[in-house]
């Protein structure tokens, strides 16, 4: 396997392109000139940073909605008699209104949380931000294949987010983030404002789909056409493989949800009877269409997270990835199988034969995921492990993803799923797979590549405190929900019986710890930008191109000269990392003559 290095890295470009030898963050003039430069840029690095800022902002909005939901569930809603009057207690989201209004506000709040987190945070998180920034750097390219399409995808993302925020301002929607019919076609039909806010939210998801397609198409072509000379398919960093697998799913699956949401908009506006049984439609048809996209998109979320873990574990254990080709092929296997398992979301609304078939395929998709986990653990074995903040997040990912994967097995078992369906067990499983894996990997990836992206080091001590708060807070928040669901607590309810009181209270307290952890990370990043020490080109001793040949932060056109391929991306046993301090990353001692490595 080979990766890219350049014998000329670090030297000035003598070809007359000195204008491009400054950092991509270097201002182009005054504040307005700089703003226009960023707004009109086709530099993949700037677009990746803009995506990162926007995604983190939407993450904050979705997180605040989640905190509101947990505050509401801190106590059950009770109607008690005080001085001869009936008084409702334990309901925060009623805001002095009726009990029914409080329940409606709760529905809007968890719908807002789900829609923002799925469509505006988790799906674009790694590909649009870190993927945009790192993919050309890792491939030895100056930019993505279609730079202007890349900029367009950013503006389409912003446009879709504006429609979502407009729906929030108009009062929000209470359909659930899946927009299931008949909820999405029959609720809020009175009044212009109420009528249009659901259309606005559905239109937001429709528009965001185009951003996803543009990004995926760009990445597929970039990987195929812009690899550095000498870089074959099995010479690429595994991060590229993960982004590539996710991009294929984005291109093939996203049009399905686009057409489905467009049909839903027509159904709501013109009552044409596609999904409404009163007019000959079929609401289950919407579920099939929705999950044919939404289950593959689960792997758009998780494959890039897995891609980050590949890089972090290899770098901070100073070891060659165990089973490189197995990891690469398992990425493609997950992408392929993801298209044929959507029916396991419909066990309670499909025929028996279909349910058995989809149950079997559900267990099949666990195999390539298990291959990855095995290879990560084998890579860690006897490695020179450094417990940096990114490595802590990688180890946390292994723990949380394993729980998320194993708890998916009972949900794929027909008899057990009938009991657990629509319970808090599903909520906990989904969050362990999506937030406990994708978001955890995303945060670990931000820490890993932060010095490369912004040229500043962060405070490792406080970053580790932030990790432990996030890790403990996450488990305290969601692990009790497995027990709640197993005991029959249904999801999406604003109240509950006293049997579940202690679980909800523990879960709510955990959400506060989780929030504090994220705020600590925010402080660490802001402090780094304002007062962090300058980062060396290769502080982690990586062997992939962004570490060995690019400055921290990279110059505008990424490299001074076209890179040259001469060693592998994970050859830590026999290659010293360029641009790194020899004292920081000593090479292993050579074996005695005639000895064999084990």
Tokens of 180: 């299931």
Closest CA to 150 of 88, 256, 226, 91: 226
Is 91:100 a contact under the CB 8 Å cutoff?
no
Is 347:358 a contact under the CB 8 Å cutoff?
yes
Dist CA 186 CA 10 (whole Å): 63
Question: How many Cα atoms occupy the beta-carbon half-sphere of 315 within 13 Å?
Answer: 33
Q: Tell me, what's the pLDDT at 529?
A: 95
Question: How many Cα atoms occupy the beta-carbon half-sphere of 156 within 13 Å?
Answer: 21
Find how far residue 455's CA is from the centre of its chain: 24
Given a cut of 60, is residue 596 above it in pLDDT? no
Cα-Cα-Cα-Cα dihedral sign, residues 338, 340, 341, 345: positive
Q: Tell me, what's the pLDDT at 588?
A: 62
Structural domains of the chain ordered from first start: 41-92+105-294 (1.20.210.10), 315-524 (1.20.210.10)
Given a cut of 80, is residue 592 above it in pLDDT? no
Given a cut of 90, is residue 479 above it in pLDDT? yes
Is 45:24 a contact under the CB 8 Å cutoff?
yes
pLDDT digits 0-9 by tens, 366-392: 899 999 999 999 999 988 899 999 999
Residue 235 DSSP symbol: G
How many residues appear in the chain?
598
Dist CA 59 CA 129 (whole Å): 13
Report the pLDDT averaged over residues 548-563: 88
**Which residue is associated with the tokens 């294949």?**
145
**Which residue is associated with the tokens 């500043």?**
456
Closest CA to 127 of 109, 145, 105, 153: 153
Is 215:267 a contact under the CB 8 Å cutoff?
no
At 594, the pLDDT band (50, 70, 90 cuts) reads: low
Dist CA 118 CA 301 (whole Å): 9
**Which residue is associated with the tokens 């989780």?**
514
Dist CA 367 CA 358 (whole Å): 15
Q: Tell me, what's the pLDDT at 96?
A: 66
Compute the mean pLDDT over every residue in the chain, rounded to the nearest whole number: 88
Distances (CA, A) of 177 to 115, 129, 285, 492: 5, 23, 17, 11
Given a cut of 70, is residue 413 above it in pLDDT? yes
Partners of 78 in the beta sheet?
Answer: 89
Phi, psi values for residue 117, rounded to 5°: -65, -40
Helix (H, G, I), strand (E, B) or coil at 176: coil
Dist CA 593 CA 73 (whole Å): 67
Helix (H, G, I), strand (E, B) or coil at 565: strand
Is 189:195 a contact under the CB 8 Å cutoff?
yes
Distances (CA, A) of 384 to 189, 377, 381, 542, 585: 62, 13, 9, 14, 10
pLDDT digits 0-9 by tens, 336-372: 888 888 888 888 888 889 889 999 988 988 899 999 9
pLDDT digits 0-9 by tens, 5-24: 443 333 334 334 445 678 89
Dist CA 569 CA 545 (whole Å): 8
Q: Centre a 10 Å sphere on the Cβ of residue 232 and count the other Cβ atoms it contains.
A: 10
Tokens of 588: 């292993």
Given a cut of 70, is residue 406 above it in pLDDT? yes
Q: Calculate Rg over the CA atoms of the chain.
A: 25
- Report the relative pairing of strands 3-5 and 78-82 from DSSP bridges: unpaired
Dist CA 541 CA 536 (whole Å): 10
**Percentages of the chain per state (helix, strand, coil), in multiples of 5:** 65, 5, 30
Is 121:64 a contact under the CB 8 Å cutoff?
no
Helix (H, G, I), strand (E, B) or coil at 582: coil
Closest CA to 465 of 517, 512, 515: 517
Classify the phi-psi angles of 541: left when phi > 0, otherwise alpha if psi is within -120 to 50, otherwise beta. Answer: left
Dist CA 88 CA 397 (whole Å): 42
**Which residue is associated with the tokens 């490792």?**
460
Dist CA 113 CA 61 (whole Å): 8
pLDDT digits 0-9 by tens, 177-218: 888 888 888 776 655 566 688 889 999 999 999 999 999 999
**DSSP per residue, 417-474:** HHHHTTBHHHHHHHHHHIIIIIIHHHHHHHHHHHHHHHSB---HHHHHHHHHHHHHHH
Q: Tell me, what's the pLDDT at 268?
A: 84
Q: Is 187 exposed, middle or buried (0-12, 13-18, 19+ CB in 10 A)?
A: middle
Q: Which of 191-195, 353-357, 415-419, 559-563 has the lowest mean pLDDT?
A: 191-195
Given a cut of 70, is residue 152 above it in pLDDT? yes
Q: Tell me, what's the pLDDT at 347?
A: 85
Q: Is 527 exposed, middle or buried (0-12, 13-18, 19+ CB in 10 A)?
A: middle
pLDDT digits 0-9 by tens, 518-529: 999 999 999 999
Distances (CA, A) of 587 to 319, 572, 583, 584, 598: 11, 8, 10, 10, 17
């Amino acid at each position: 396997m080979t990766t890219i290095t350049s014998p000329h890295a670090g030297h000035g470009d003598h070809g007359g392109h000195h204008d491009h030898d400054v950092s991509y963050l270097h201002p182009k003039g005054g504040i307005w000139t700089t703003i226009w430069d960023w707004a009109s840029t086709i530099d993949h690095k700037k677009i990746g940073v803009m995506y990162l800022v926007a995604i983190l902002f939407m993450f904050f909005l979705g997180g605040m909605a989640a905190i509101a939901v947990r505050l509401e569930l801190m106590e059950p809603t009770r109607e008690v008699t005080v001085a001869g009057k009936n008084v409702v207690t334990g309901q925060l989201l009623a805001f002095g209104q009726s009990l029914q209004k409080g329940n409606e506000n709760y529905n809007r709040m968890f719908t807002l949380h789900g829609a923002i987190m799925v469509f505006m945070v988790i799906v674009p998180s790694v590909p649009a931000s870190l993927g945009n920034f790192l993919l050309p750097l890792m491939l030895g390219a100056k930019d993505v294949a279609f730079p202007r399409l890349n900029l367009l995808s950013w503006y389409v993302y912003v446009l879709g987010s504006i429609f979502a925020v407009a729906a929030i301002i108009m009062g929000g929607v209470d359909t659930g983030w899946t927009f299931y019919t008949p909820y999405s076609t029959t609720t809020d039909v009175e009044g212009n404002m109420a009528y249009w806010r659901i259309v606005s939210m559905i239109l937001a998801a429709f528009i965001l789909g185009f951003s996803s397609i543009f990004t995926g198409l760009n990445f597929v072509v970039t990987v195929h056409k812009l690899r550095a000379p000498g870089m074959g398919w099995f010479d690429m960093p595994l991060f590229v493989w993960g982004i590539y697998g996710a991009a294929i799913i984005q291109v093939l699956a996203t049009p399905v949800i686009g057409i489905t949401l467009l049909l839903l908009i027509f159904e709501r506006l013109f009552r044409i009877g596609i999904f409404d049984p009163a007019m000959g439609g079929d609401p289950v048809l919407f579920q099939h269409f929705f999950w044919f996209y939404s289950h593959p998109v689960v792997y758009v979320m998780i494959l890039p997270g897995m891609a980050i873990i590949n890089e972090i574990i290899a770098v901070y254990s100073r070891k060659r990835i165990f089973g490189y080709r197995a990891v690469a092929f398992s990425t493609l296997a997950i992408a392929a199988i993801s298209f044929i398992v959507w029916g396991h979301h419909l066990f309670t609304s499909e025929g028996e034969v279909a349910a058995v078939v989809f149950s079997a395929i559900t267990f099949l998709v666990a195999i390539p995921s298990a291959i990855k986990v095995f290879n990560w653990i084998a890579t860690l074995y006897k490695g020179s492990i450094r417990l940096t903040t990114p490595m802590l997040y990688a180890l946390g990912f292994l723990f949380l993803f394993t729980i998320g994967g194993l708890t998916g097995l009972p949900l794929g078992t027909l008899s057990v799923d009938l009991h657990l369906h629509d319970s808090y067990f599903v909520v906990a499983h989904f969050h362990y797979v999506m937030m406990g894996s994708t978001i955890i990997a995303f945060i670990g990836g931000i820490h890993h590549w932060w010095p490369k992206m912004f040229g500043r080091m962060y405070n490792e001590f406080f970053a580790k405190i932030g990790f432990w708060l996030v890790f403990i807070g996450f488990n305290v928040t969601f692990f009790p929900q497995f027990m709640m669901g197993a005991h029959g607590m249904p999801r999406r309810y604003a109240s509950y019986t006293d049997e579940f009181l202690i679980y909800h209270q523990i879960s709510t307290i955990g959400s506060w710890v989780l929030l504090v952890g994220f705020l600590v990370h925010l402080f660490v990043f802001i402090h780094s930008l304002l007062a962090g020490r300058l980062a060396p080109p290769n502080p982690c001793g990586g062997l992939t191109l962004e570490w060995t040949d690019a400055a921290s932060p990279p110059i505008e056109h990424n490299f001074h000269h076209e890179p040259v391929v001469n060693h592998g991306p994970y050859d830590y046993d026999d290659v010293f990392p360029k641009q790194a301090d020899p004292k920081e990353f000593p090479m292993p001692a050579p074996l005695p003559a005639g000895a064999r490595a084990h």
